Amino acid sequence: MANTTIYDVAGAAKVSLATVSRVMNNPEKVNPETREKVLKVIKELGYRPNAIARGLASRKSTTVGIVMADVSRAATSQLLGGIIDIAKKYDYAVKLFTMDATEDVRDVMRKVVAEQVDGILLLNDELEYDDMGMVVDMIQDAQIPLVLCNTIYTEKDVPTVAIDYVQATYDLTKGLIAEGKKHIYFASTVHKYSINRFKAEGYSKAMQDAGLEPLIFRTSGDVAVNTLHFQEFLKNNTIDALIGVRDSIAVSFINCAIKAGFRVPEDIKVVGLQNTKYAVLSRPTLTCIDTPVYDIGAVSMRLLTKYMSHEDVIDNKVFLPYSIVKRES
Amino acid sequence: MANTTIYDVAGAAKVSLATVSRVMNNPEKVNPETREKVLKVIKELGYRPNAIARGLASRKSTTVGIVMADVSRAATSQLLGGIIDIAKKYDYAVKLFTMDATEDVRDVMRKVVAEQVDGILLLNDELEYDDMGMVVDMIQDAQIPLVLCNTIYTEKDVPTVAIDYVQATYDLTKGLIAEGKKHIYFASTVHKYSINRFKAEGYSKAMQDAGLEPLIFRTSGDVAVNTLHFQEFLKNNTIDALIGVRDSIAVSFINCAIKAGFRVPEDIKVVGLQNTKYAVLSRPTLTCIDTPVYDIGAVSMRLLTKYMSHEDVIDNKVFLPYSIVKRES
DNA sequence: CTGAAAGCGCTTACAG
DNA sequence: CTGAAAGCGCTTACAG
């Protein structure tokens, strides 16, 4: 089947190609009878307009660009799940772009812009804060609608969908303090990623408010590496609670602690911040802040569609409610 | 910054737009001096050709379509990691399409075709076997290069990158039998997904060869659901080994078994087939067939680039080597 | 309500 | 080696 074009449809329906185009884009502007005739032919021929040609002519690609660090992380892929479902609903295609530490941020962004996406969802929480600024600037310069998805940048007024991480970790930490915990550690990553900064901020504030010293332990997201760190750590430190920036880090800690003879949660209470699938597959299951990851993806995509179709947006910052899922840890 | 076009570059460099185009696509055909002059202007203006216009004119979108069931599954997202890295290397953009059970397979595929991708990677292992056939037919009819990625379809000669799942589960099962295990269960999904069929085949064959009856237990991929199934199962059955089609299923089983008072691996040995991150985050860590998921993604994408650029392909079926990672379970 | 025509930003034979 | 021109498959004012 050589792809059928709009000319084929026009010919078969004995109308001009302009009419066929109208049937697809402004059906109300064409006579019901002609419309039916054309629709019938479209169906018979299985015609679907060439998205590229349409994109060039209309200057809209109906494609959104997703910029992220690494697809394979659980939270990222769950965000993507929500994004894709909503994108599909509004008939946008989804293009993926990754940006790792070895790449030049500007190069990647130039490429994204050249791909002519109608809007961008930035979910890269592994950017250093300054790079975030650069990325935001480039997108805004190119006048492409942008929404930050589960990522936060406060230097500029950028549409954002996330949860209030500062408040969440603050409340969580306060809760642990109220239970009598004294040596509460916060396990973060070595790199000072933009998002973890806010998570640490709420934790630190709660500790200080209670007259305790914040104890931030930096390790790798790689299980093989952080296992060694945790083993060493457990030998030399007093700890009765741990908050992990990522669930995988928290679960890895649980395993190390139990193997070292500690009881979880009796000796050390462990809490995650994401509620990914890791949380229900650990033993004991992981108590978590239930970040509504799928929803953050979905809502951010929905917000982006509003910007792309120039709808009025009342509030450009959406902080979704979160809860704490008490499980066994 | 109103986007700079090829006309702007041509104007600034005092050459025709045809020359600018050649500098980008066939640099060897243009005089080195003019070439340098043009390249300088391109750099100064930060020019990047409009991918959509290029796509229309050249009839190549330099975009590949990834068709999958659900991004958020660990194995899928790791495949995607490999795919994206290689796609980037060969300068292809990546568009994502999901297809769940509620959607009409033909509709989704028509959309993929309309998006004008240059090639398709099919990684949907949640398709029933007949639907697989329909998808393959539609793509081949549209004459779009196709590679099956970690998915197998034997009714037609389709380029494929995977591991030999039949052989892998056969060997694995034989190994368990050799260790003296008699009640070896195979935990699969309720739906008869195409890929699991091959995994079950190798298992069943090994059991039959040893004069044992294959014991296939079907459950859900949802931890909350399969936990109930497993609890019930453990009360009523004799079992000394379990093979899980997905790591998450195997890990969930481990947790249920230990909570029910069994020792793993002493009483029940448990093995996974994927070696995802779940395998190192479980306690005991999960012994697995080490399916090289990232590599399968990468190799399949590389194979697809060959088809897209009409390179000769010696072997259109690639079965990557796998190993067994012996861990604690 | 419908058609003829210009144009979206490129690529690519075809001349020269 | 370089430029003028046609064309990729659509959309969208503009006439009628």
- For residue B255, which residues of chain A lie inside 8 Å, CB to CB? 281, 283
Q: Write out chain B's pLDDT in tens, 329 residues.
A: 357 899 999 999 999 999 999 999 888 888 989 999 999 999 988 898 999 999 999 989 999 999 998 888 888 999 999 999 999 999 999 999 999 878 888 889 989 998 999 999 999 878 887 888 999 999 998 889 999 999 999 899 999 999 999 999 999 999 999 999 999 999 998 877 778 888 999 999 999 999 999 999 999 989 999 999 999 999 999 999 999 999 999 999 999 999 999 999 999 999 999 888 899 999 999 999 998 999 999 999 999 999 998 888 889 999 999 999 999 88
- CB environment B45-73: b (16+ within 10 A), e (fewer): eebbbbbbbbbbeeebbbbbbbbbbbbbb
Specify the CATH number of the domain A6-58.
1.10.260.40
Among A48, A63, A76, the residue with its CB nearest the CB of B113 is A48
DSSP state of A211: T
Cβ(A196)–Cβ(A163) below 8 Å: no
How many inter-chain contacts (A to B, CB under 8 Å) are there? 144
What local confidence, expressed as pLDDT, does residue B86 receive? 96
Q: Which residue has the tokens 């935990």?
A: B187
Within 7 Å of a protein beta carbon, the nucleotides of strand D are 1-5, 7-13
What local confidence, expressed as pLDDT, does residue B307 receive? 94
Same fold, B63-163+293-320 and B165-290: yes
What local confidence, expressed as pLDDT, does residue A294 receive? 93
Taking the Cβ of residue A141 and every Cβ of chain B, the question of whether any pair is shorter than 8 Å is answered with yes
Restricting to A residues 280-309, those with a Cβ less than 8 Å away from any Cβ of B are 280-283, 294
Find the angle CA(A260)-CA(A263)-CA(A264) to the nearest 5 degrees.
110
Residue type, A56: L
What is the spatial distance between Cα B277 and Cα B259, in angstroms, rounded to a whole number? 22
φ, ψ for residue A135, nearest 5 deg: -60, -45
What local confidence, expressed as pLDDT, does residue A2 receive? 52
Note whether B113 contacts A223, CB cutoff 8 Å.
no
The per-residue pLDDT for range A226-247, each reduced to its tens digit, is: 999 999 999 999 999 999 999 9
CATH superfamily of A63-163+293-320: Response regulator (3.40.50.2300)
The per-residue pLDDT for range A34-64, each reduced to its tens digit, is: 999 999 999 988 898 999 999 999 989 999 9
Cβ(A241)–Cβ(A271) below 8 Å: yes
Strands across the sheet containing B269-272: B215-219, B184-189, B241-244, B269-272, B287-290, B323-325
The per-residue pLDDT for range B43-66, each reduced to its tens digit, is: 988 898 999 999 999 989 999 999
- A69 CA: distance to closest CA in chain B (Å): 10
Cβ(B193)–Cβ(B223) below 8 Å: no
The per-residue pLDDT for range B227-281, each reduced to its tens digit, is: 999 999 999 999 999 999 999 999 999 999 999 999 999 999 999 998 888 999 9
Strands across the sheet containing A323-325: A215-219, A184-189, A241-244, A269-272, A287-290, A323-325
Strands across the sheet containing A119-122: A317-319, A160-162, A146-149, A119-122, A63-68, A93-98, B93-98, B63-68, B119-122, B146-149, B160-162, B317-319
Taking the Cβ of residue B27 and every Cβ of chain A, the question of whether any pair is shorter than 8 Å is answered with no
Strands A184-189 and A215-219: parallel
Note whether B72 contacts A49, CB cutoff 8 Å.
no
What is the spatial distance between Cα A21 and Cα A98, in angstroms, rounded to a whole number? 35
Q: Write out chain A's pLDDT in tens, 329 residues.
A: 357 899 999 999 999 999 999 999 888 888 988 999 999 999 988 898 999 999 999 989 999 999 998 888 888 999 999 999 999 999 999 999 999 878 888 889 989 998 999 999 999 878 887 888 999 999 998 889 999 999 989 899 999 999 999 999 999 999 999 999 999 999 998 877 778 888 999 999 999 999 999 999 999 989 999 999 999 999 999 999 999 999 999 999 999 999 999 999 999 999 999 888 899 999 999 999 998 999 999 999 999 999 998 888 889 999 999 999 999 88
Ordered by start, the domain boundaries in chain B are: 6-58, 63-163+293-320, 165-290
Q: What is the torsion angle, in degrees rounded to the nearest 10, for the CA atoms of residue A284, residue A289, residue A295 and residue A297? A: -90
Cβ(B47)–Cβ(B8) below 8 Å: yes
- The CATH architecture of the domain made up of A165-290 is 3-Layer(aba) Sandwich (3.40)
What is the spatial distance between Cα A152 and Cα A164, in angstroms, rounded to a whole number? 9
